[in-house]
Amino acid sequence: MALLTPVLAPAPAHPARPVAPGSAPAKTTRDTAVDGVRAILLGVVVLLHSLMVGVSVAADGSPILRNAMEGWDGFAPLTWVLQIMPLFFVLGGFASYTQWTRQRARGATTGDYVAARMRRLLIPASGAILATAVALAALVIAGVPADVVATAGFRISQPLWFLGVYLGCSALVPFMVRLHERDRILTVAALAAGVVAVDIVRGATGLTAIGLVNMAFVWLLLQQIGFAVADGSLDRMRRGPLLAIAGTAVTVAGVLILTGAAPADLITALNPPMAILVVAGIAQTALFLVLRPRLRTWAAGPRTAAAVGWINARAMTIYSWHMLVVVGLAGALLLSPLSLPVPLSAAWWAGRPLWFAAVLIAVALVVARVGRREAAREPRAIPVGTGRATVSALVGVAGVVTILVAGSAPSAWVLGAALVLASVRLAGGSLRAG
Per-residue pLDDT reduced to its tens digit, 378-428: 666 678 899 999 999 999 999 999 999 998 999 999 999 999 999 999 998
Please, are residues 257 and 268 in contact by the beta-carbon 8 Å criterion? Answer: no
Question: pLDDT in tens for each of the 434 residues of the chain?
Answer: 444 433 343 333 333 444 444 344 444 467 999 999 999 999 999 999 999 998 888 777 777 788 899 889 899 999 999 999 999 999 999 999 999 999 999 999 999 999 999 999 999 999 999 999 999 999 999 988 888 899 889 989 999 999 999 999 999 999 999 999 999 999 999 999 999 999 999 999 989 899 999 999 999 999 999 999 999 999 889 999 999 999 999 999 999 999 999 999 999 999 899 999 999 999 999 999 999 999 999 999 999 999 999 999 999 999 999 999 999 999 899 888 888 898 999 999 999 999 999 999 999 999 999 988 777 766 666 788 999 999 999 999 999 999 999 989 999 999 999 999 999 999 987 655 43
DSSP bridge pairs for 57: 63
Measured distance CA(34)–CA(331) in Å, rounded: 36
Extents of the domains making up the chain: 28-426
Calculate helix-pair angle for 315-335, 32-52, nearest 10 degrees: 20
Measured distance CA(102)–CA(21) in Å, rounded: 10
3-state secondary structure of 63: strand
Measured distance CA(319)–CA(42) in Å, rounded: 7
Per-residue pLDDT reduced to its tens digit, 7-59: 343 333 333 444 444 344 444 467 999 999 999 999 999 999 999 998 888 77
C-alpha torsion sign, points 327, 54, 354, 163: positive
Please, are residues 308 and 29 in contact by the beta-carbon 8 Å criterion? Answer: no
